[in-house]
Structure 1
Amino acid sequence: MSGLRYTEDHEWILIEDDDVALTGITHYAQDQLGELVYVGLPSVGTDIVQGETCAEIESVKAAGELKMPVGGTVLEVNESLVDAPERINSDPTGEGWVVRIRIADSSELESLMDEEAYKEYTKGLS
């Protein structure tokens, strides 16, 4: 999906409308974690700063976390992940989105990688 921006911790963010964005974990991250069995979601209305944990993710292999790519307020969470965390495995940047936020400071987006830079970054990790 074009328009995505990425963190070094393997989260993505997609701007939907000016200051509203979806976020989740990347295909690389879900592949490393393996089959997901649990997603702990934040409460709507929570303010989270850039880099702070906003969701817990557990797989059959490991536990991880979704860190906020940019600071903002949680507008919506993907409730379908509570009963079907494997949606992140099958479609991490689509149906597997985790949190919809209102961005507090759009200048924080400048610190994120575009798709090409992220692909280069993950090549070095293999």
Structure 2
Amino acid sequence: MSTPLLITPKAEDIAGQPILRPLPAAKCRSVGPFVFFDHMLEKAYAPGSGMNINQHPHIGLSTLTYLFEGQVQHKDSLGSDQLVEAGDVSWMTAGRGVAHVERTPQTLRHEGSRLHGLQVWLALPREQEGCEPVYSHH
């Protein structure tokens, strides 16, 4: 039986959104298929501002986004344009490749907003790394 490893999350700032990131860590790059685990800490955005993660690519993995509070507008190279609200699950399988943006919706930028959630990145099994990309919202 192996000795449990205690992972201390790193504090990061992603486009102005504070996160705690336990994975990847120096002593533990992944846990099973989980390669990134981001806790988007509660943040209040003032009127006129918001989260703004510009277009970036993913390949060979899936991301799951779950919000406890707030809203995010997801747009991607597949043509998806989805408002993700608290309690929703946003699931993007990149497979052979997809690019996307995540932003505070324009309507909330005028009045100010709050955001709190999780984003988990999972490595796809090797035989599925090149699958067709797909986005789903639940």
Q: TM-score range, shorter-chain basis?
A: under 0.3
- Structure 1 or 2: more helix by fraction: 1
Larger Rg: 2
Structure richer in strand, relative to its length:
2
- The two structures have a TM-score, normalised by structure 2, of 0.25
TM-score by length of 1: 0.27
